[in-house]
Amino acid sequence: MVSGWPIEAIIKEAGDKGLSCSEEYELALKTGLYFNQCAWPSLLPNLYHMVTVPSLNLEGVTHRIVLYYDEPRAKMIVFDPNQGREGVKVYSAENLKSWNEVWIVIPENVERDDSE
């Protein structure tokens, strides 16, 4: 749909079954779409992932958070932009159950607090 290719051409190119993330990425490049690589459903260790989640504060709205899976400690760390704001709910590793639209981000100068 988003590529402008007819669905028949996409099915001919990729088949009619689900694609892995790498297959989806390759198909996107073939059809002229460019984006950073997805890592759904699992998080890649020791990388930052921007994900979409339902908002805990606004009904019917989505919210972006950043997840980091610390492989040596076998721990997921959640960075919610609402952290530190009074009167709002925030995601944590304990209350996060699912997410979608996973995008790998590799910031060079992100300060993070791993003390959780």
User: For position 35, what pLDDT does the model report?
Assistant: 54
Which has more confidence, 14 or 42? Answer: 14
Find out whether 64 and 78 touch, Cβ atoms under 8 Å: no
Residue 100 is assigned to a structural domain of this protein: yes
The domain tally of the chain equals: 2
Same domain membership, residue 26 and residue 59: no
Same domain membership, residue 25 and residue 58: no
Same domain membership, residue 31 and residue 61: no
Same domain membership, residue 72 and residue 94: yes
Same domain membership, residue 68 and residue 30: no
pLDDT digits (tens, 9 = 90+) for 37-94: 554 457 778 878 878 889 999 898 888 888 888 889 989 999 998 888 899 999 999 9
Query: Across residues 10-37, what is the average pLDDT?
Result: 69
**Best CA proximity match to 51, nearest among 66, 69, 35, 68:** 66
